[in-house]
Structure formats: C-alpha cells, structure tokens
Amino acid sequence: MKRNLIMFFTVLSLILNAQLIKTKRGIVSLDGIHVAKISSKSGEYTFMDLKETPIFTMQFVDKSIVDSVRDSYVKLNRVYNREKTLDMDYISPSAFSGDEKSAVYTCIKALKIIDERGINIKNLDEVFKNMPKRKLDAKTKEAYTIRTKIDKLNITINNVGEILSNGVPVGYFTNLPVSFGSEDTISDKTFVDIEMYDAKSKLVGKYSTTTKRITTAGGKVFTLYREMSGRASILKFPTYKALAERMAILDPNFIKIKEKVEVGEVVKDGIEKDKK
C-alpha cells in the first residue's frame, strides 16, 4: 500500500510539474505565457524575442555519412555573432513531431535557452562557451571513421575507367557497362561482373549488378542496401567512385593512405602505360 502511494504521488508530481509547450502562428508559449517568436525559411528556424528581435537560428541537418548510415542533428548559430556554429543533438516530444516542434522542444527542454521569462541570453552564452558533446552510437562513430579514411583517399574515376587517388592512378575497372561515361551511377544489370584491379593488374574484387554485392579477391562480401533519405526509403544505385571507395575500405592493401600516394605505373594486360 505504501509503495503504491509513493508511485502515485511521484506520477502526480511529474504531471503537475510538466510544462505545457505550444507553438501557434509563430508564437511560442510556455504554460500559456508567450515567451518567444519563431519563423522559418528553407529549413532554418529563427528565434526572436517578443519584440521580434532575432536572437539565434537553428537549422536541421540530415545527411548520409557512408552507405546506409545517416546522421541527423541541428546547427545552432547566433544572429549577431556568426563566428561559431554548434553542431548538436536535438530532442523531439514524439517520434512524429515535425522540425518546428523539435526545435522549440530542444531549446526549452534540452538547452534551457528559452524559459518562462523568454529567451535566456545567459544560458545561450553558456551553451556557446561549453558546447554539449554529441551522443553518437557505435554505428555512427564507425561510419564517420570510415568517411574520414575515404576523404583522405580523395578517389576519382576518369573517363577511361581508371581509379585515381589524390590524382595518382592506383587501379582500373573492367567489364564496364555501355552506360559508363554517360552516367555516374551503375543502374544497368549485366551478367558479367564489373571487376577492379590495382595498379599492377592484380584483381582486387568484383561487383555484381544483379545482387549489388562487392566481393574482394580475399573473399570479403559487402552488400549495398537501400539508403534512408529523410523519412523515405529510396533505392540507391552506387557510383563507380563509391565502389572504389568501398573496395579501399574492404581491402586496406588496395590503396594505402600516406602523405603522398605512392604506386607504380598502371599496367593493363602486362603493358605499362606510357610515361609523360
């Protein structure tokens, strides 16, 4: 009985202390009191005091890191001091809340930069002084690590199917579909696998256009899945660049990250390319 009474009063206190947050016609209300104004343009929300003086902005970002892993966060910026932009996690009152509700909820509940007196400049300054650390899960952290490695490789594909890293030839594709050169993505389905070779004409791996699987010469397999874009799922056709990047991650010996990429001349069919 005593335990039930404790639980009852705990729940009751939470209900009584819960803040009622509403946004209507650009006015943010807290427990029925107008505390701030908000406007939006191109996905960026501007928060103003009740005299409509802009104080800070919040922009929602949803981006692909690598493969099917995405990261969603907000960029916080002061209107009159844009030297520093903060990338931060945000919170939502429910899974179905839109960006505006999430922006208001984050400012009040997470950052405490809006309270019953309006926009709290002192707390806003404190947020910029001691930026809250983002809480990334293991999958997202790993994706950013991979993305960093890929960016350092700076892989490009030229018009004859050669793979270059930081401008240096490191390999090439064979069995390219007829659409190569006119399209960056691989949307054609062919019965012959697209093959990747290193600079010494050693087979590195294959890509099946029917199963969307990359298989390294060493037997590692990676399947390209559907990629999330916002709240909608779309079939993501890979680019030749994406295949080379993924192969470089699957096989670290394919392209090694150095201050300067060092490889031999690209050799096709046992014949070394002419040096310029």
**Is the pLDDT assigned to residue 20 strictly greater than 70?**
yes
Q: Is the pTM of this model over 0.75?
A: no
Residue 117 has pLDDT above 80, yes or no: yes
At 10 the pLDDT is 37
Q: Is residue 8 one of the residues assigned to a domain?
A: no
Query: Do 122 and 161 sit in the same domain of this protein?
Result: no
> Which one-letter amino acid corresponds to residue 258?
K
The confidence band for 238, taking pLDDT boundaries of 50, 70 and 90, is: confident
Name, in order, each residue with C-beta under 8 angstroms of 219's C-beta and a sequence gap of 6 or more. Answer: none
Q: Do 97 and 186 lie in a common domain?
A: no
Q: Do residues 127 and 140 make contact, with C-beta atoms less than 8 angstroms apart?
A: no
Domain end call among 129, 148, 167 = 129
Q: Which of 103, 129, 155 is the last residue of a domain?
A: 129
Q: What is the mean pLDDT of residues 62-77?
A: 88
Does residue 125 sit in the same domain as residue 56?
yes
Question: What average pLDDT does the segment 126-152 reach?
Answer: 93
Q: 237 lies in a domain?
A: yes
Phi then psi for 175, rounded to 5 degrees? Answer: 60, 40
156 shares a domain with 267: yes
Asked if residue 252 and residue 229 are part of one domain, the reply reads yes
Q: Are residues 142 and 267 in the same domain?
A: yes
Q: How far apart are CA 129 and CA 112, in angstroms?
A: 14
Are 45 and 123 in a shared domain? Answer: yes
Verify that 49 and 161 share a domain, yes or no.
no
Instruction: Please check whether residue 1 lies inside any domain of the structure.
Output: no
Within a domain: 16: no
The pLDDT of residue 258 is: 61
End-to-end CA distance of the chain: 89
Q: Do residue 214 and residue 151 come from a single domain?
A: yes
List, as own/partner pairs, every contact residues 41-48 make where C-beta atoms lie below 8 angstroms and the sequence separation is at least 24, other chains included. 43/99, 45/99, 45/100, 45/103, 46/79, 47/107, 47/114, 47/119
| Domain containing residue 267 | 138-272
| Average pLDDT value for residue range 43-56 | 95
Instruction: Judge whether 4 lies within some domain.
Output: no
Q: H or E stretch including 169?
A: strand 168-174
HSE, CB side, 13 Å, CA atoms: give it for residue 84: 9
71 in any annotated domain: yes
Across 52-60, average pLDDT: 96
Q: Give the separation between CA 23 and CA 40, rounded to whole angstroms.
A: 13
Q: In terms of pLDDT, which residue wins out, 47 or 177?
A: 47
Domain end call among 71, 99, 129: 129
Burial classification of residue 117, based on how many CB atoms lie within 10 Å of its CB (0-12 exposed, 13-18 middle, 19 or more buried): exposed
The set of residues, in sequence order, having a beta carbon less than 8 Å from that of 104 and lying 6+ positions away, is 21, 23, 28, 38, 114
Domain count, the chain: 2
83 with 146, same domain: the answer is no
- Averaged pLDDT, 211-223: 92
Torsions phi, psi for 146 (to 5 deg): -65, -40
pLDDT of residue 236: 65
Report the C-alpha gap between 187 and 237 in whole angstroms: 6
List the Cα angle 136/140/211 in 5-degree steps: 160
* 238 within domain boundaries: yes
Within a domain: residue 5? no
Q: Are residues 83 and 120 in the same domain?
A: yes
Q: Are residues 174 and 95 in the same domain?
A: no
- Give the pairing of strands 213-216 and 221-223: antiparallel
Whether pLDDT at 120 is above 70: yes
Pair 215, 203: CB distance under 8 Å: no
